[in-house]
Amino acid sequence: MDSNNIRNFSIIAHIDHGKSTLADQIMTLTHTVDQRSAKPQLLDNMAVEQQHGVTVKAQTVTNFFIAKDNQRYALNLIDTPGHVDFSYEVSKSLAATEGVILLVDATQGVQAQTVANFNLAKAQNIKILPVINKIDSLNADVAMVKQQILELDVDFSDSDILEVSAKHGTGVENLLEEIIQRIPMPKLDHSVSGLKALVFDLSYDNYQGIIAHVRLFSGELRANQKLHLMHADKKFESKTIGIFNPNMVEKDALHAGEVGFVVTGIKETDQIRVGDTITTQSSGALEPLRGYEAAHPVVYAGIFPKDDFLTMKSALFKIALNDSSLSIEEDYSDALGPGFRVGFLGNFHLQIIRERLKSEYDLEVITTSPNVTYKVHLKNAQLLAINNPINFPDFSDIDYVEEPVVTVQITTLPETVNQVINLSEKYKGILTDLNNLSNLVQLTYDMPLSEIAYHFFNALKSETHGYATLSMGKIVYQPADIVKITFDINYSRVPQLTYLTHRIDANNEAQALVHKLKYTVPRQLYPMPAQAIIEGHVIARVDIPPIRKNAAVSGDKKSISKQQVLLRRQSLNKRKSKQLTFELPQSVFDIFLEI
Applying CB under 6 A, which part among 161-169, 284-292, 378-386, 433-441 lies near ligand GDP?
A: 161-169
Distance CA(121)–CA(11), nearest Å, equals: 11
What single string gives the DSSP state of each residue in 85-113?
GGHHHHHHHHTT-SEEEEEEETTT-S-HH
Least gap, CB of 76 to Mg ion (angstroms): 19
Q: 186, 98 in Cβ contact below 8 A?
A: yes
**Smaller CB distance to ligand GDP: residue 134 or 341?**
134
Among 5, 8, 21, 368, binds ligand GDP (CB under 6 A): 21
Binding mask 3-42 for Mg ion (x = CB under 5 A): -----------------x----------------------
Least gap, CB of 25 to Mg ion (angstroms): 13
Least gap, CB of 19 to Mg ion (angstroms): 5
Host H or E run for residue 190: none
Q: Is 21 annotated as a binding residue?
A: yes
Q: 67, 180 in Cβ contact below 8 A?
A: yes
Q: Which residue is nearest to Mg ion (CB)?
A: 20
Burial status of residue 553 (CB atoms within 10 A of its CB: 0-12, 13-18, 19 or more): exposed
Tell me 465's DSSP state: T
**Smaller CB distance to ligand GDP: residue 106 or 483?**
106
3: phi then psi, degrees, rounded to nearest 5: -65, -15
The reply to whether 80 sits near Mg ion by the rule CB under 5 A is no
306: phi then psi, degrees, rounded to nearest 5: -80, -30
Distance CA(247)–CA(341), nearest Å, equals: 36
The reply to whether 113 sits near Mg ion by the rule CB under 5 A is no
Look at residues 348, 341, 404 and name the one whose alpha carbon lies nearest to residue 376: 404
The reply to whether 20 sits near ligand GDP by the rule CB under 6 A is yes
CB under 8 A, 24+ apart: contacts of 377-385: 377/401, 377/402
Q: Is 24 annotated as a binding residue?
A: no
> Is the backbone of residue 31 left (phi > 0), alpha (psi -120 to 50) or beta?
left
Pure H helices in 375-444:
417-426
The reply to whether 161 sits near ligand GDP by the rule CB under 6 A is no
Applying CB under 6 A, which part among 10-18, 87-95, 224-232, 375-383 lies near ligand GDP?
A: 10-18
The reply to whether 13 sits near ligand GDP by the rule CB under 6 A is yes
* Cis ω for the linkage preceding 246 (within 30 of 0): yes
Least gap, CB of 372 to Mg ion (angstroms): 31
**Smaller CB distance to Mg ion: residue 61 or 285?**
61
Least gap, CB of 156 to ligand GDP (angstroms): 21
Pure H helices in 521-557:
551-554
Q: 61, 32 in Cβ contact below 8 A?
A: yes
Host H or E run for residue 226: strand 226-229
**Smaller CB distance to ligand GDP: residue 16 or 446?**
16
**Smaller CB distance to ligand GDP: residue 22 or 441?**
22
Q: Is 97 annotated as a binding residue?
A: no
Tell me 205's DSSP state: E
Applying CB under 6 A, which part among 160-168, 195-203, 301-309, 499-507 lies near ligand GDP?
A: 160-168
Question: What per-residue string of b and e applies to 101-115 under the rule 16 or more CB within 10 Å gives b?
Answer: bbbbbbbbbbbbbbb
Applying CB under 6 A, which part among 159-167, 359-367, 409-417, 524-532 lies near ligand GDP?
A: 159-167
Distance CA(390)–CA(334), nearest Å, equals: 11
Look at residues 284, 170, 171 and name the one whose alpha carbon lies nearest to residue 235: 284
**Smaller CB distance to ligand GDP: residue 16 or 153?**
16
Q: Is 17 annotated as a binding residue?
A: yes
Applying CB under 6 A, which part among 165-173, 179-187, 307-315, 378-386 lies near ligand GDP?
A: 165-173
Applying CB under 6 A, which part among 11-19, 377-385, 401-409, 586-594 lies near ligand GDP?
A: 11-19
Distance CA(28)–CA(38), nearest Å, equals: 7
Distance CA(448)–CA(408), nearest Å, equals: 10
Residues 411-450 within binding reach of ligand GDP (CB under 6 A): none
Number of residues engaging ligand GDP in binding (CB under 6 A)? 15
Q: Is 79 annotated as a binding residue?
A: no
Host H or E run for residue 358: helix 347-361
Task: Say whether 488 sits in a helix, a strand or coil.
Answer: strand
Binding mask 341-380 for Mg ion (x = CB under 5 A): ----------------------------------------
The reply to whether 7 sits near ligand GDP by the rule CB under 6 A is no
User: 21 is in the binding site of which of Mg ion, ligand GDP, none (Cβ under 5 to 8 A by kind)?
Assistant: ligand GDP
Binding mask 118-137 for ligand GDP (x = CB under 6 A): ---------------xx-xx
Chain residues binding ligand GDP by CB under 6 A are: 13, 15-21, 133-134, 136-137, 165-167
Binding residues for GTP: 16-21, 133-136
Binding residues: 16-21, 133-136
Chain residues binding Mg ion by CB under 5 A are: 20
